[in-house]
Amino acid sequence: MAHDDATHTLSTLSARRLKWHTQDDAIVLMRTDCPVCRSEGLTSRSRVMLTYNGREVVATLHQVEDDWLAPTEAGLSEAAWERLDAEPGAALGIHHAPTLPSLSDVRRRMTGKRLEAVSFERIISDIAAGLYSDVHTAAFVSACSTLPLDLDEITSLTRAMVDVGERLSWNSEMIVDKHCVGGLPGNRTTPIVVAILASLGLTVPKTSSRAITSPAGTADTMETLTSVDLSLSDMKRVVESEGGCLAWGGAVQLSPADDILIRIERALDIDAEGQLIASVLSKKIAAGATHVVLDLPFGPTAKLRSVVAARTLAQHLTMVAEAFGLKTHCIFSDGLQPVGRGVGPALEAWDILRVLQGSKNAPADLRKRAISLAGAALELSGTTEPSKGETVAGKALDNGSAWEKFQRICSAQGGLREPPRADHTASISAHRSGVLRAIDNRRLSRLAKLAGAPERPAAGLIIHKRLGESVMRGEPIVTVHAEAAGELEYALEYAQSNFGMFGIEG
Amino acid sequence: MAHDDATHTLSTLSARRLKWHTQDDAIVLMRTDCPVCRSEGLTSRSRVMLTYNGREVVATLHQVEDDWLAPTEAGLSEAAWERLDAEPGAALGIHHAPTLPSLSDVRRRMTGKRLEAVSFERIISDIAAGLYSDVHTAAFVSACSTLPLDLDEITSLTRAMVDVGERLSWNSEMIVDKHCVGGLPGNRTTPIVVAILASLGLTVPKTSSRAITSPAGTADTMETLTSVDLSLSDMKRVVESEGGCLAWGGAVQLSPADDILIRIERALDIDAEGQLIASVLSKKIAAGATHVVLDLPFGPTAKLRSVVAARTLAQHLTMVAEAFGLKTHCIFSDGLQPVGRGVGPALEAWDILRVLQGSKNAPADLRKRAISLAGAALELSGTTEPSKGETVAGKALDNGSAWEKFQRICSAQGGLREPPRADHTASISAHRSGVLRAIDNRRLSRLAKLAGAPERPAAGLIIHKRLGESVMRGEPIVTVHAEAAGELEYALEYAQSNFGMFGIEG
């Protein structure tokens, strides 16, 4: 973009921080009658390039015609303000945004054509740089879901996502990681698995994402226990001293494009296979992992509906991982019902603490799953002989060394804290007596989300019954926890019209 | 959505009009610490339902933390303000937006499944009601493009789009219409065709859209000559007295969903076949048309790349039209180069005036195309015998009756005015001598758009040379017109790196 100095001088406005929260959407507000809008011919929703101190940010223009913004001012959303790193009153250069060649690639896929590696590189690089509007990103996400990405495309997308982010390197030759594809409420094994493996001397620099379509991601849950916004150097320090960490991947910028894609996927409530594989593997590769255990729960209302779907995903995950020299082991687990008792960041954290502390009322299913995954990691990495992994993992829980390690990791990350408790709770009772035969995980997740999870850490559910247990009419099946009265009401309204999420028979 | 009165009383804020332009995106600004955000548990980017006086509007929430908005205020974008029809200080009810069942249909199509009629009804009804965010709409548009809509789906989409809008009825049995699928800069025959047909006694209640991906739509061009924002009753009055009109379809709400879809398609710069057919036919059906002539220009850089593509589209258009009892005739026209001299709203309007007035320097190609289309309409409607249409149409132009009729239509719409002229112009000269052998219509359109068309009515291009003509090195080929210096500069910058849009040989 060549602009002469005269133009630059004309096209500046004074930066104003509006403390305006739009998530990661960069928006700039200008007066319709401001000199820049008139000289540059900018209209509402134009994409504009803001420049300051050598930094460039593309933002969507909104216009105002009222005196609360001066014609000499450019009001910035927090996303624009932070990326520009501006100061109040700074002179911002403002121009039309450059045309993006990568949008031709998006359009090409929107006509049903497959894309080659260079197209994904262009697209992901522009998304990571914040050059796409939400409309562009949503169109790309939808195009990659409607015509599912093939294996070559998934590999290209994965590589492109790795290339735009940080890439970690470690002193250890072998870096172990685990991942669950999700879809099962309360299945929060990661903190337990990391504690077990690190206590046994493995290097497990775990980065996790926040929830996409679920009521909690591991990062959301861990944030109720300790700080997860670790910088790269903090993360290195924690892993060097403790062998493991439990950090939020977004903070270390392992896959900056993925965080933007995830926000759009969350708004659409979708999580397509190709993007899921690229999202998972790009973060593992960027984190320097060499051995990864993958948990694939399946069931009629889990994310993976059947064992066939789980096996297909496993096959694709393994094939793409191989292209990057990553060793994987997939575990197909029971996805019929939630794991543990809590659903939601803090409520899942309480379950984790009980398992690590060996409490009598620790949920047995959560413990069992964590041991199975940790055992698989021990075997995949050659740390134990085949078939000995679970025994070794169970011992680390029983003798308290995993709990000791977990406390040390949290302490290194800034201190272990007690998860918050919700002010508003209400129970949902069985509408008939009988045996609990089915639980709709999807509707249960929706219930937890309506109660405020994951944005409200204390919000979520406590599930009192497991499949096969008897219930009496009027007996509480689930208790809803909310931080705000409006959210509790909203969740209960949904529950009233969705009794069918619990199948009681007999 | 059942809410008790207590909740309603708690969840209100005072309406403030921010005169904030975001096109048709309804946005509401609240303080992060306002009582409603806290009690309802609302976070930035939540979708919220605003209620006032029995009206409901779904908006995206943005939050602020600064004193320029009071904790008791809800600041509204113009789109939200207008749809709510609020007054300053009015008490707005604010709640979580209801979950939209139609988004399940969108998600289903995003997994590659085809949709039945009821799904399109749900989706289009929600889009027309403003319930979708841009992310939702973009995902739907992309899903319908990546896996092209089949004929059943196009028919369902068309019917859904008709059903959510107004539907016109006329006293005449036979209602004639014409449409060009676009893609050819300057091909602005509609005003001439309407004038010819109405002057010959046919009923032609023409509604046109604004440009999607082109530098001008017929509504954009006509707006430089007269008022096109006609209400339904204005339109009826004009048609009853003159037999024809040239109105903007968006103003009469013939297809309110289409206007929203078109805004998203414009942002993506795509115009997929299925959506194109539904957009065109839904408006013709809603306008009460019985006979429609369709102009399908094709050429390597037109929207339709080949005669095969044109014939396929014609076949699909005809089949879907038949499902609604609509008679169509498709004309395949030369799409190798722009039509007329001007490209852009006002510059195309000047060409139209010259043809209607029978000026010596009227563009012959524009005249010829208008006669061909009007002739086809005369024959399709049985007004003339087969093969006599063009002669009758030509006569109406030559004897001044079409020009007389055009003036009367404009007068009935609010008065004929002179199109604006641009303040900033610059010529682009041939970089070598030779014969002009090829013109890239796409890059030419982009050049006109970068100059400001269609948002800036006077912006666009004057093309000085036609295919086959000789040019000397340094001789102007095209003159760029812009309303703002920045836009002129922006267009010239593009032209400098895109000399190849003119193929000069020999």
Read off the pLDDT of residues B289-343 as tens digits, 9 standing for 90 and up.
999 999 999 988 888 889 999 999 999 999 999 999 999 999 999 988 999 999 9
3-state secondary structure of B204: strand
- Residue A99: what pLDDT? 83
Sheet order of strands, A291-298 included = A176-180, A291-298, A327-334
Residues of chain A neighbouring B140 (CB-CB closer than 8 A)? 142
Is the confidence at residue B119, as pLDDT, over 50?
Answer: yes
Are residues B21 and A268, on separate chains, in Cβ contact within 8 Å?
no
What distance in Å separates the CA atoms of residue B296 and residue B313, rounded to the nearest whole number?
A: 9
CA atoms within a 13 Å half-sphere pointing along the CA-CB vector of A7: 16
Please state, in angstroms and as integers, the Cα–Cα distance from residue A257 to each residue in A32, A162, A210, following that order: 32, 9, 14
Is the confidence at residue A1, as pLDDT, over 70?
Answer: no
- Residue A7: what pLDDT? 41
- Residue B213: what pLDDT? 75
Is the confidence at residue B433, as pLDDT, over 70?
Answer: yes
CA atoms within a 13 Å half-sphere pointing along the CA-CB vector of A85: 4
Q: Looking at mean pLDDT, say which of A6-15, A116-125, B64-73 comes out highest.
A: A116-125
What distance in Å separates the CA atoms of residue A57 and residue A44, rounded to the nearest whole number?
A: 17
Token pair listed for B365: 């190609």
- Residue A98: what pLDDT? 85
What distance in Å separates the CA atoms of residue A447 and residue A442, rounded to the nearest whole number?
A: 9
What distance in Å separates the CA atoms of residue B333 and residue A337, rounded to the nearest whole number?
A: 62
**How would you classify the pairing of strands A73-77 and A12-21?**
parallel
Is the confidence at residue A2, as pLDDT, over 70?
Answer: no
Catalytic residue status for A271: yes
Q: Which band of pLDDT confidence, cut at 50, 70 and 90, is reported for residue B5?
A: very low
Residues of chain A neighbouring B106 (CB-CB closer than 8 A)? 268
What distance in Å separates the CA atoms of residue A243 and residue A233, rounded to the nearest whole number?
A: 14
Is the confidence at residue A9, as pLDDT, over 60?
Answer: no
Residues of chain A neighbouring B145 (CB-CB closer than 8 A)? 110-111, 143
The candidate with the shortest Cα–Cα distance to B182, out of B330, B265, B295, is B295
Picking from B21, B38, B64, the nearest residue to A19 by CB comes out as B64
Is the confidence at residue A490, as pLDDT, over 90?
Answer: no
Are residues A62 and B110, on separate chains, in Cβ contact within 8 Å?
no
Q: Which residue of B has its CA nearest to A17?
A: B66
Token pair listed for B3: 């809410």
Residues 6+ apart with CB under 8 A from A383: A200, A201, A202, A377, A389, A392
* B443-462 average pLDDT score: 93
Residues of chain B neighbouring A138 (CB-CB closer than 8 A)? 134-136, 138-139, 142
Residues of chain B neighbouring A63 (CB-CB closer than 8 A)? 20-21
**Secondary structure E strands in B40-147:** 47-52, 55-64, 73-77, 91-96
What pLDDT, in 10s, does the model give residues B210-226?
Answer: 887 789 999 999 999 99
What distance in Å separates the CA atoms of residue A75 and residue A36, rounded to the nearest whole number?
A: 13
Is the confidence at residue A41, as pLDDT, over 90?
Answer: no
Are residues B111 and A145, on separate chains, in Cβ contact within 8 Å?
yes
Higher-pLDDT residue of B203, A486: B203
In eight-state DSSP terms, residue B209 is P
In terms of phi and psi (left: phi > 0; alpha: psi -120 to 50; beta: otherwise), the region of A41 is left
**How would you classify the pairing of strands B424-429 and A476-482?**
unpaired
What distance in Å separates the CA atoms of residue A297 and residue A181, rounded to the nearest whole number?
A: 8
Alpha-helix residue ranges (DSSP H) falling in A63-150: 78-84, 102-109, 117-128, 134-146
* B92-97 average pLDDT score: 90
Q: Which band of pLDDT confidence, cut at 50, 70 and 90, is reported for residue B10?
A: low
Are residues A483 and B41, on separate chains, in Cβ contact within 8 Å?
yes
What pLDDT, in 10s, does the model give residues A156-177?
Answer: 999 999 999 888 899 899 999 9
Token pair listed for A137: 């990103």
Token pair listed for A151: 């294996």
Task: Report the mean per-residue pLDDT for chain A.
Answer: 92
- Residue A477: what pLDDT? 95
What distance in Å separates the CA atoms of residue A141 and residue A156, rounded to the nearest whole number?
A: 15
- Residue B6: what pLDDT? 35
The candidate with the shortest Cα–Cα distance to A101, out of B120, B498, B438, is B498
* B36-45 average pLDDT score: 81
Residues of chain B neighbouring A134 (CB-CB closer than 8 A)? 134-135, 138
What pLDDT, in 10s, does the model give residues A317-335?
Answer: 999 999 999 999 999 999 8
What distance in Å separates the CA atoms of residue B434 and residue B18, rounded to the nearest whole number?
A: 57
Are residues B267 and A96, on separate chains, in Cβ contact within 8 Å?
no
Is the confidence at residue A451, as pLDDT, over 70?
Answer: yes
Are residues A267 and B135, on separate chains, in Cβ contact within 8 Å?
yes
What distance in Å separates the CA atoms of residue A121 and residue B188, rounded to the nearest whole number?
A: 40
What distance in Å separates the CA atoms of residue A140 and residue B142, rounded to the nearest whole number?
A: 8
Residues 6+ apart with CB under 8 A from A4: none
Q: Which residue of B has its CA nearest to A452?
A: B41
Q: Are A192 and A232 in contact (CB under 8 A)?
A: no
Is the confidence at residue A179, as pLDDT, over 60?
Answer: yes
The catalytic position among B220, B258, B259, B271 is B271
3-state secondary structure of A345: helix
* In chain A, % of residues over pLDDT 70: 98
Buried b (16+ CB within 10 A) or exposed e, B41-66: bbebbbbbbbbbeeebbbbbbbbbee
What pLDDT, in 10s, does the model give residues A398-447?
Answer: 999 999 999 999 999 999 999 999 999 999 999 999 999 999 988 999 89
Mind telling me how many Å the CA of B417 is from chain A's nearest CA?
24
3-state secondary structure of A332: strand
Is the confidence at residue B1, as pLDDT, over 50?
Answer: no
Q: Are A191 and A406 in contact (CB under 8 A)?
A: yes
Mind telling me how many Å the CA of A450 is from chain B's nearest CA?
10
Picking from A65, A146, A484, the nearest residue to B146 by CB comes out as A146
Picking from B18, B32, B39, the nearest residue to A485 by CB comes out as B39
The catalytic position among A126, A271, A351, A365 is A271
What distance in Å separates the CA atoms of residue A283 and residue A181, rounded to the nearest whole number?
A: 13
Q: Which band of pLDDT confidence, cut at 50, 70 and 90, is reported for residue A10?
A: low
The candidate with the shortest Cα–Cα distance to B356, out of B242, B243, B189, B244, is B189
- Residue A69: what pLDDT? 93
Are residues A455 and B43, on separate chains, in Cβ contact within 8 Å?
yes
A330 C-beta neighbours (distance < 10 Å), count: 20
Buried b (16+ CB within 10 A) or exposed e, A369-391: bbbbbbbbbbbbbebbeeeebbe
- Residue A263: what pLDDT? 86
Q: Which band of pLDDT confidence, cut at 50, 70 and 90, is reported for residue A46?
A: confident
Residue with tokens 């968006």: B250
Beta bridge partners of residue B30, listed in sequence order: B63
Picking from A99, A134, A494, the nearest residue to B134 by CB comes out as A134
Is the confidence at residue B285, as pLDDT, over 80?
Answer: yes
What pLDDT, in 10s, does the model give residues A80-122?
Answer: 999 999 999 999 999 888 889 999 999 999 999 999 999 999 9
* B82-104 average pLDDT score: 92
Q: Which band of pLDDT confidence, cut at 50, 70 and 90, is reported for residue A291?
A: very high
Q: Which band of pLDDT confidence, cut at 50, 70 and 90, is reported for residue A293?
A: very high
* In chain B, % of residues over pLDDT 90: 76
For residue A55, count CB atoms less than 10 angstroms from its CB and return exposed for 0-12, middle for 13-18, buried for 19 or more.
exposed
Q: Which band of pLDDT confidence, cut at 50, 70 and 90, is reported for residue B4?
A: very low
* In chain B, % of residues over pLDDT 70: 98
Are residues B489 and A7, on separate chains, in Cβ contact within 8 Å?
yes
Token pair listed for B85: 């029809």
- Residue A300: what pLDDT? 85
What distance in Å separates the CA atoms of residue A451 and residue A472, rounded to the nearest whole number?
A: 25
Q: CA A447, A453, A456, A458 torsion: positive or negative?
A: positive
Supply the ipTM of this predicted assembly.
0.83
Residues of chain A neighbouring B135 (CB-CB closer than 8 A)? 134-135, 137-138, 264, 267-268
Is the confidence at residue A6, as pLDDT, over 50?
Answer: no
Are residues A452 and B487, on separate chains, in Cβ contact within 8 Å?
no
Please state, in angstroms and as integers, the Cα–Cα distance from residue A482 to each residue in A210, A500, B350, B481, following that order: 19, 22, 64, 59
Picking from A41, A484, A489, the nearest residue to B38 by CB comes out as A484
- Residue A8: what pLDDT? 40
Residue with tokens 């939540």: B46
Pick among B20, B66, B487, B497 to test the A interface (most A CBs inside 10 A):
B20
What pLDDT, in 10s, does the model give residues B251-270?
Answer: 888 888 988 898 899 889 88
Mind telling me how many Å the CA of A392 is from chain B's nearest CA?
42
Q: Which residue of B has its CA nearest to A11?
A: B486
The candidate with the shortest Cα–Cα distance to B407, out of B249, B217, B191, is B191
Residues of chain A neighbouring B147 (CB-CB closer than 8 A)? 112, 146-147
The candidate with the shortest Cα–Cα distance to B97, out of B51, B52, B143, is B51
